[in-house]
Structure 1
Amino acid sequence: MIIKESVKDRIITAASELFYFDGYNQTGINKIIEEAQVSKDSMYRHFGSKEAIAVAYLEKRQRMISQEMTEFISAYSPGNDKIIGIFDYLLHWLGEVDFRGCGFQNIITDIPKDQESIKDAVRMYKNEVHEFIQNELNKTASEEMDTIEISNEVMVLIEGAIMLSQIQKNTWPLIAAKKACIKILKD
């Protein structure tokens, strides 16, 4: 049985592809309407603005990536191994999207300064990842380990490696960041 996607879901699906691959500023409402095959009236019945569509896109992306990453690293041991597994997941994922990069990083650099709800959605996801790392560190940390500081360092490695991999269209930044993370976790 084929389940027909709702109008709201079609709008989010179309916007997700367009925002991720074409960019937020480069995607107009009319293009979303065309791709989703909905009327302008239907679109505005579900979303009051392009910004609201972007927030829905980021929420969908957050759920998707969190689920994919959780499944990918489920075989890794709790603690440091799961943190290292994040880099393996990123290597797998960035290859699949031809190094397009992080949808959250991409959109935050592409929005007008007054679009606070989008910034909040990006922060929420990045904070979720940061919290995950800190929780995993706490599972295997020694008493003298500063898990807050180490989780900060790991987040910077992850974010920088994603961005540089996108720029270079290569995996070496992620591989180098993974090696640096292993060194940090051994100290």
Structure 2
Amino acid sequence: MPKPRERILSTTLLLFHKQGFNSTGINQIIEEAKVSKASFYQHFRSKDDLCIEFLNQRYDYWASELEKFISGTSTPEEKILKSFDFLIYMNEKEDFRGCSFWNILSEIPADKEEIHSVLRYHKNKLRVFISHEVKDEMIAAHIYLLFESSILTSQLYRSNEFIETSKTIIKNIFHSSH
């Protein structure tokens, strides 16, 4: 059986992703992870600490899945388009649950600065990835905004339509900038 910390985290990953941050209580996590209250607090001082660890774990998972998904592409255009295909893949895999980061952001108040800074830190890594592939700053920003809005609109409409539309826009951007 996995160690208590791993059980707490895997339970949290499922519950935060499925129910959201506010609807998931520490007692439910303790119960479903089959750990004692003392054991929980030995590993995490608070729900906020647990949330930060959740975001770090979720990012690592998402980034490694994306990396695997786009491996084999060579040009910046292929990498970017394949990244949008990854969104479609994740929507199918996770039933349009959307982005854990946007979901958490919508639930937490502005004064939880530590969580906000973790959200920004990981979202910025995505911006850096796109900027690394697309040297033109304005085009990179445009693609980043399309990427984030594709995630949100696909969750809202439970459809990949705007991801496909974004891919068409990106093809046009790449072909008109050459």
| Fold agreement, TM-score > 0.5 | yes
Structure 2 CA distance for aligned equivalents of residues 40 and 78 of structure 1: 51
SS at match of 1:109: helix
1:118 maps to which of 101, 107, 115: 115
Q: Across the two proteins, how many residue pairs are aligned to each other?
A: 176
Identity across aligned pairs (percent)?
36
Alignment correspondent of 2:160: 171
Aligned: 1:152 with 2:141: yes
Q: Which shows bigger deviation, 67-76 or 78-87? A: 78-87
Q: Tell me the alpha carbon deviations over residues 76-96 of structure 1, each in whole angstroms, 9 at most, x when there is no partner.
A: 113121011100111111111
Structure 1 CA distance for aligned equivalents of residues 22 and 81 of structure 2: 34
Aligned: 1:47 with 2:36: no
- TM (normalized to structure 2)? 0.95
Structure 1 CA distance for aligned equivalents of residues 18 and 70 of structure 2: 26
Q: Which has the higher helix share?
A: 2
Alignment correspondent of 2:70: 73
1:162 maps to which of 136, 141, 151: 151
Q: Tell me the alpha carbon deviations over residues 114-155 of structure 1, each in whole angstroms, 9 at most, x when there is no partner.
A: 2122111211111111101111123xxxxxxxx221111111
Alignment correspondent of 1:10: 7
- TM (normalized to structure 1)? 0.90
Matched letter for residue 40 of structure 2: M
SS at match of 1:25: coil
Q: Tell me the alpha carbon deviations over residues 39-76 of structure 1, each in whole angstroms, 9 at most, x when there is no partner.
A: 11111111001010011011011111110000100011
Q: Which runs of 5+ in 2 are unaligned?
A: none
Structure 2 CA distance for aligned equivalents of residues 148 and 7 of structure 1: 45
Alignment correspondent of 1:182: 171
Q: Please provide the CA RMSD for this pair.
A: 1.1
Q: Which runs of 5+ in 1 are unaligned?
A: 139-146
Aligned: 1:30 with 2:27: yes
Q: 1:185 offset after TM fit, Å?
A: 2.2
Matched letter for residue 171 of structure 1: N
